[in-house]
Amino acid sequence: MLKNTIFALGNLTKPLYMRIKACLIALLLIVFTQKSQSQVLITTTLPDTISHWEKTNTVGLDINQIAFVNWSVGGNNSVSILAKGHFIRKYSYKNISWSNELITKYGLNSQEGQETRKTDDQIQFNSTFGYRRDTVSNWYYGAKFNFNTQFANGYSYPNTTDEISGPFAPATIFLGVGAEYIRKDLGLNAYFSPVTDKTTLVYNQRLADQGAFGVEAAVRDADGNIIIPGKNSRTEVGILITNQFKRQVFKNIMLDQRLTLYTDYLNNFGNVDVNFQMQLDMTVNEYVKANIGTNIIYDDDIKSTREVDGAVVQGGPKIQLKQMLGVGLTYTF
């Protein structure tokens, strides 16, 4: 058929033959060019890599200030600063979930007529690894690690000579295995562990000798001299239950509620340590946020203290309460 076509073209006049030949060549060039361009477009739209990591970094600075000039009813000038950071790394792929979180806070208050005082101090690291049998289930076989301590010494003001806490005094570590229930659509995360090790570290020998934070106190003679130093650690094994509920409750208002319950098998089983936290983050714009929060703690191993006639007297455990209200700058990257 090709020979017949060429033969037919050959019988045409030369000018007409050249014109038809030029049209055929142009048509072939157009088809080839379109095909090449479409292939280039397809290859350039393919993604290079796919990451299963979710990363969030948030740093903030809250500032509260009050000043008086010729104020007839009186008052003291004061400035409070709270620096905070929140860093999240989450890995999710098929049946595996791994969540890591670092929370840091450090606050100071300077008031006219008194020394600078610490208002907040926290280092907290949480890591939870989960594995589920299929991609439909919300239940995971889980393992949890939790670490808590602080940056600097804490004092019972106005006494700034004898610290009542410090870095790694205490430090608490939770490590255990259990089951985890995750509902991303509800912002709900619940964890139950029938076997969790809780280790309390007190790397301040003076506090350890006092038996602070539940460690074994020093053994003293009749004159008060130390015969056997206090221990720097205490280990417990018990049940751990944690819960986190985080979601937007109103426009620009985020609720973050956390609960931790722990009871030791060997020492007063059924006596539950409680740590409850709730915080509302209210967004003004991209960089300005206000927050309201509360933290309630009850730990039978942490004894209360009070001053009687100039001497510090140790009492029983009490409910600890901290409330926070702040407005400041926040940057997320």
Render pLDDT for 116-173 as a digit per residue (tens, 0 to 9): 999 999 999 999 999 999 989 999 999 999 999 999 999 988 889 999 999 999 999 9
User: Residues 277, 258: one domain?
Assistant: yes
Report the number of distinct structural domains present in the chain.
2
CB 168 within 8 A of CB 203: yes
3-class DSSP state of 26:
helix
User: Residues 247, 129: one domain?
Assistant: yes
Q: In whole angstroms, give the CA distance from residue 131 to residue 142.
A: 7
Q: DSSP of 211-246, one letter per residue?
A: TGGGPPPPEE-TTS-EEEPPPSEEEEEEEEEEEEEE
User: Residues 9, 135: one domain?
Assistant: no
Q: What is the pLDDT of residue 9?
A: 45
Over residues 239-290, the pLDDT tens digits come to: 999 999 999 999 999 999 999 999 999 888 989 999 999 999 999 999 999 9
Counting DSSP H helices and E strands in the chain, the numbers are 3, 18
Q: In whole angstroms, give the CA distance from residue 70 to residue 259.
A: 47
User: Residues 35, 64: one domain?
Assistant: no
User: Residues 124, 247: one domain?
Assistant: yes
Mean pLDDT along residues 192-218: 95
